[in-house]
Chain A
Amino acid sequence: MTARSLLTDRRDSVTARPWRRPGRTALGPATRFAYRIAAAVFALVLWQVAVVSGLVSNAAVATPTDIVQEAAPLLATPAFGAALFDTITSWAEGLLVSLVVAIPVGLALGTSDLAYRVSRFTIDFLRTIPPVALIPVALLLYGATPKMAFALIVFGSVWPVLLQAMYGVHQVDPAMWDVARAYGLRRLDRLRFLILPSAAPFVATGVRLAATISLLLAIGAELIGGAPGIGAAITLQQQNGDIPKMWVYVVVSAVLGVVLNLALIGLERRVLKWHSAQRSVVAA
């Protein structure tokens, strides 16, 4: 097949949209941003109208305007700060421990074919158990304490990291293993130059997945199990019948998820930049 120049691809590239004739120019970033804001506003208006009109009962759902009104004073209270702190610390501790356990184990399992085959069935089975089902067990063992949340988070978060680490090791080009052996690379060097650069992006994805799961489990442990934190605050406000305050906490939990995810993406980018730089050094 003839090699086509970059110019050719640009000239002849016609990405046919299913219904439109090609040739349209893309929207500028300002317009896109405006559309996005408009979509969000539209959604909020829909929400407001649904509750105000009675379509959705206001004994269960608060309007966006009420939520905003309640949010300002609530966010300043010590109770809120404590709940936020509790949730974040549970999340961070649980996530960290699960990473410390799962990454080395996952890398090791990925490297050894035998170990992988032996453990595959067990891992597959254990990871399908939804961690929420273990809330009663954790409650029995630890009561409605942060420890309960911690145990739950660790159990739930190890699996994605483990699997992603194993998968990442499997992505190493088989030819590279031969190269490593031919040059008699030591174990440690193999880890540094072969395994880590290849597995790093996958492990990063696993970390983000685990982070999401950790947050979900933290809030779940708090809401169902009663550990202190945002989840417990939601239950409390619901029991007090203060629906707007309850929804403030619900929105905060979502915002927390988004913020943590974005932070991790930023972190991932920075760490991986260093790694891909190293990878290109190895390849050269």
Chain B
Amino acid sequence: MAKANIVGDPLIETAAQSSRPILEISDLSKTYRVGDEHNQVLVGISLQVSRGEFVCIVGPSGAGKSTLLRCIAGLLAPSSGTILLDAQPVHDPPPKLAVVFQDYSRSLMPWMSVASNVMLPLRSRGYARSEQVRRADEALAAVGLTAARSRYPWQLSGGMQQRVAIARALAYEPEAMLMDEPFASVDAQTRSDLEDLILRVRDTFGMTVLLVTHDIDESVYLADRVFVMGGSPTSVSEQITVDLPSPRDQVSTKLLPRFSELRAHVMTLIREDRVNRGV
């Protein structure tokens, strides 16, 4: 599939552009105020993501991964620190970013057909309707759901619904995609299929992907780099480069000894973190 088709400029990588990370987070902290209590969730988070990278953020449940994702997505204001997307500070949801939410059944609009759902973000882009339809159909084809375009989200299985959400994000033509535990609510078989789908999408469109998950295997399988979160308040415990060969395969990649090593490394970190936190 043609790379330059849906995603635009960012693929023409100039030397200057490719050297600067697409996402830079510096010293991010978030404290929630609940009544009189102050609950610091995140502290001193700093990380950088390069263009076209696939980054996984992994950590135990309740570590504040979703909070971090929401801050990056511009849906939540951090208490301190900066977030730069393509050198622009993030205050509101940036136009170059698309989010795939965990709860697909709630993020898709049940009163709209699948095609209308995918077209929804295109309205604010000012495209003519025929253009919107074309782009939506392309996105649906990319996730293999062309046959379902006239159906309603609640008529589809969980895996298919999440694919619709991914198609919606694709149609938006973002430079980066944020995914908040997107495969947590589907069965294992569907999860493998979706993991491979998102890898294909990344390869085809050259997108940067930031995926939050609690599934260690998934994080190592998908990522170029893994950020392990830990501590209380949460910060980045360690950054691990995943030097597994591409393209990844559910069987052969997971048979590699390096996969087990990386996996064990991440698991050890998380386990230690749990002990340290006394959980």
Do B39 and A14 touch (CB < 8 A)? no
The answer, among A11, A16, A21, for a CB contact under 8 Å with B62, is: A11
Selected A-B contacts with CB under 8 Å, 22 pairs? A1-B185, A3-B61, A4-B61, A4-B62, A5-B62, A7-B62, A8-B61, A10-B32, A10-B34, A11-B32, A11-B39, A11-B41, A11-B62, A11-B67, A12-B66, A12-B67, A14-B75, A21-B75, A21-B77, A23-B32, A23-B76, A25-B35
- Indicate whether B254 reaches chain A with its CB closer than 8 angstroms: no
Do B76 and A22 touch (CB < 8 A)? yes
- Indicate whether A53 reaches chain B with its CB closer than 8 angstroms: no
The answer, among A5, A10, A23, for a CB contact under 8 Å with B61, is: A5
A8 to B76, CA, bound (A): 16
A74 to B68, CA, bound (A): 65
A11 to B32, CA, bound (A): 7
User: CB-nearest residue of chain B relative to A22?
Assistant: B76
A177 to B119, CA, bound (A): 48
Contact with A along B31-51 (1 / 0, CB 8 A): 011110001010000000000
Number of chain B interface residues as a range: 10 to 19
A8 to B64, CA, bound (A): 8
Residues of A that sit less than 8 Å from B by CB: 1-5, 7-8, 10-12, 14, 16, 21-23, 25
Contacts of B185 in A (CB 8 A): 1
Contacts of A25 in B (CB 8 A): 33, 35
- Chain B residues 165-190 with CB under 8 Å of chain A are 184-185
User: CB-nearest residue of chain B relative to A23?
Assistant: B77
In the complex, the 10 A-B pairs of residues with the closest C-beta atoms, listed nearest first: A8-B62, A12-B66, A2-B61, A11-B41, A1-B185, A5-B62, A4-B61, A12-B67, A21-B77, A7-B62
User: CB-nearest residue of chain A relative to B74?
Assistant: A21
Do B39 and A10 touch (CB < 8 A)? yes
User: CB-nearest residue of chain B relative to A3?
Assistant: B61
Question: Which of A2, A10, A12 is packed against the most chain B CB atoms within 10 Å?
Answer: A12
- Indicate whether B214 reaches chain A with its CB closer than 8 angstroms: yes
Residues of B that sit less than 8 Å from A by CB: 32-35, 39, 41, 61-62, 64, 66-67, 70, 75-77, 184-185, 214
Q: Whole-angstrom distance from the CB of B242 to the nearest CB of chain A?
A: 23
Q: Whole-angstrom distance from the CB of A14 to the nearest CB of chain B?
A: 6
User: CB-nearest residue of chain B relative to A25?
Assistant: B33
Do B64 and A2 touch (CB < 8 A)? no
Do B70 and A14 touch (CB < 8 A)? yes
A12 to B184, CA, bound (A): 16
User: CB-nearest residue of chain A relative to B60?
Assistant: A2
Contacts of B39 in A (CB 8 A): 10-11
Do B214 and A2 touch (CB < 8 A)? yes
Contacts of A11 in B (CB 8 A): 32, 39, 41, 62, 64, 67
User: CB-nearest residue of chain B relative to A11?
Assistant: B41
Contacts of A1 in B (CB 8 A): 184-185
Question: Which of A1, A5, A7 is packed against the most chain B CB atoms within 10 Å?
Answer: A1
Contacts of A12 in B (CB 8 A): 41, 62, 64, 66-67
A14 to B77, CA, bound (A): 11
Apart from A2-B184, A16-B75, A23-B77, list 15 A-B contacts with CB within 8 A: A1-B185, A2-B61, A4-B62, A7-B62, A10-B32, A10-B34, A11-B41, A11-B62, A11-B64, A12-B41, A12-B67, A14-B67, A21-B76, A23-B32, A25-B33
Contacts of A16 in B (CB 8 A): 75
User: CB-nearest residue of chain A relative to B65?
Assistant: A12
Contacts of B214 in A (CB 8 A): 2
Contacts of A5 in B (CB 8 A): 61-62
A25 to B35, CA, bound (A): 7
Q: Whole-angstrom distance from the CB of A19 to the nearest CB of chain B?
A: 12
Question: Which of B33, B76, B214 is packed against the most chain A CB atoms within 10 Å?
Answer: B76
Contacts of B67 in A (CB 8 A): 11-12, 14
Q: Whole-angstrom distance from the CB of A2 to the nearest CB of chain B?
A: 5
Contacts of A10 in B (CB 8 A): 32, 34, 39
User: CB-nearest residue of chain B relative to A2?
Assistant: B61
Q: Whole-angstrom distance from the CB of A153 to the nearest CB of chain B?
A: 42
Question: Which of A11, A14, A21 is packed against the most chain B CB atoms within 10 Å?
Answer: A11
Question: Which of B32, B35, B64, B184 is packed against the most chain A CB atoms within 10 Å?
Answer: B32
A14 to B99, CA, bound (A): 15
Q: Whole-angstrom distance from the CB of B44 to the nearest CB of chain A?
A: 17
Contacts of B34 in A (CB 8 A): 10
A21 to B70, CA, bound (A): 11
Q: Whole-angstrom distance from the CB of B76 to the nearest CB of chain A?
A: 6
Contacts of B41 in A (CB 8 A): 11-12
Question: Which of A3, A10, A16 is packed against the most chain B CB atoms within 10 Å?
Answer: A10
Q: Whole-angstrom distance from the CB of A43 to the nearest CB of chain B?
A: 32
Contacts of B77 in A (CB 8 A): 21, 23
Q: Whole-angstrom distance from the CB of A13 to the nearest CB of chain B?
A: 9
A25 to B64, CA, bound (A): 20
A12 to B66, CA, bound (A): 7
